[in-house]
Amino acid sequence: MSEDRNEVWWRRATAVIPGGVNSPVRAFRAVGGVPRFIRRAEGPFVWDESERRYVDFVGSWGPAIAGHAHPRIVAAVQEAARDGLSFGAPTVREVLFAERLQSLLPSLERVRLVSSGTEATMSAVRLARGVTGRSLVVKFEGCYHGHVDGLLVKAGSGALTFGHPSSAGVPAAVAQETLVLEYNDSAGVERVFAEHGERIAAVIVEPIAGNMNLIKPQEGFLEGLRRLCTRYGSVLIFDEVMTGFRVGLQGAQGLYGVVPDLTTLGKVIGGGMPLAAFGGRRELMEELAPLGAVYQAGTLSGSPVAVAAGLAALELVSEPGFFERLAERTRRLAEGLKEAARRGGVAFTSDWVGGMFGIYFSPTVPRSFQEVVGSNVAQFRRFFHAMLARGFYFAPSAFEAGFVSAAHGEEVIEETVTAAEEVFAELASEEE
């Protein structure tokens, strides 16, 4: 029998790339085993280097909302590439793309394009500090906003303590400018503002968390953040890098009717290419250079090829009924998995919104990072590998949301649920 090509490339990768990967979660450290090296993808499927096909629920961590290698997006990229890859000068496509974003998200009175979600959040926080003249930023445990020094922090011994670095290389003095609170703890936020409100430049939050698995905001949580930021003159930043054009045509802010001061976007808006953006109120955004004193720049910002892909992706998600169909498929998957687990006698539940879903090996849907941590992670690992062996590729971590695309048809969803029912039965027998 020939050696698995994934293992061959894994050995080669670890010899030249730290940990063998260019982004940590790809390394399968949370679940064990050898990562799959993806050779190609189409629709709801990916194929690895051994030409094994998988139904993909990672979707490039969210961007592949129309399915992989959608013909219209690929054609747009090819057409743009023929004209040149990068100019370092303005292009018409940048303007058209910004106009399209603004037409879909009215809160974006002005918008600037960047190349990654990390860039977008870093720039939004800098802008908030520059405009307010304050230094403190509030974030929430379990919410990830890119690998920005000041946001790579975790809570200390209590909910109201200042942040401590969660990565080597982040100075403690930088981390201490961040206050880390519990997601969905409105009372905790009230207390922090009562004590530090005059020093808080911004609150940054995933309006629907996706980086500690899928966690929805409890009733009144986002509204409370809006009210406090308005009262104290702080900037409310919605990190919609994941949820923007993934949970609805107006993102989470459209679903919940809460308007942030600044919004960060990524993933879906690039159609699979490196493209992100941040934008919001005109008076804030016009404090950016060259108009204002807050500096931000990027050689590849507004890449003509990436913007072409983004325009095509936004056209696809804007088609009538797109999100209704997507949400129904996601619901059927989430509910199907939950019913399969019930029949198998496994403590498991699920949740979903738009084209995002969460699976939890716990009896109830978590509401915070601490509740997610309390789920049965070991059982998730067994589920992950059993499904992978059957040709179904879920996120290789119990702390990541999953994604459904428009290309995941009814048959694919049914096949997934049937396979999961077998796996749940195996897990139940292991526990006996």
Active site (catalytic) residues? 144, 239, 267
Side-by-side strand order, sheet with 136-140: 110-114, 276-280, 262-265, 235-240, 200-205, 136-140, 178-181
The conformational region for residue 245 under phi > 0 = left, psi -120 to 50 = alpha, else beta, is left
Q: What are phi and psi of 232, to 5 degrees?
A: -100, 0
Q: Distance between CA atoms of 33 and 27, rounded to whole angstroms?
A: 9
Asked if residue 248 lies in contact with residue 238, where contact means CB atoms within 8 angstroms, the answer is no
Helices 304-317/322-344 angle, 10° precision: 80
Cα→Cα distances 79→74, 87, 426, Å: 9, 16, 49
Question: If DSSP codes are grouped into helix, strand and coil, which group holds residue 210?
Answer: coil
- Residue 211: strand pairing partners: 213
Q: Distance between CA atoms of 403 and 213, rounded to whole angstroms?
A: 11
Beta strand ranges found along 234-293 (DSSP E)? 235-240, 262-265, 276-280
Asked if residue 408 lies in contact with residue 329, where contact means CB atoms within 8 angstroms, the answer is yes
How far apart are the two ends of the chain, measured CA to CA in Å?
35
- Residue 58: strand pairing partners: none
Q: Distance between CA atoms of 280 and 106, rounded to whole angstroms?
A: 9
Q: What are phi and psi of 431, to 5 degrees?
A: -80, -15
Asked if residue 297 lies in contact with residue 326, where contact means CB atoms within 8 angstroms, the answer is no
3-state helix, strand, coil in the chain (%, to 5): 45, 15, 40
Asked if residue 138 lies in contact with residue 262, where contact means CB atoms within 8 angstroms, the answer is no
Contacts 24+ apart (CB under 8 A), 294-298: 294/126, 294/127, 294/130, 294/131, 296/112, 296/114, 296/123, 296/126, 296/127, 298/114, 298/115, 298/119
Residues 6+ away with beta carbon under 8 Å from 135: 129, 177, 199, 201
CB atoms near residue 318 (< 10 Å): 14
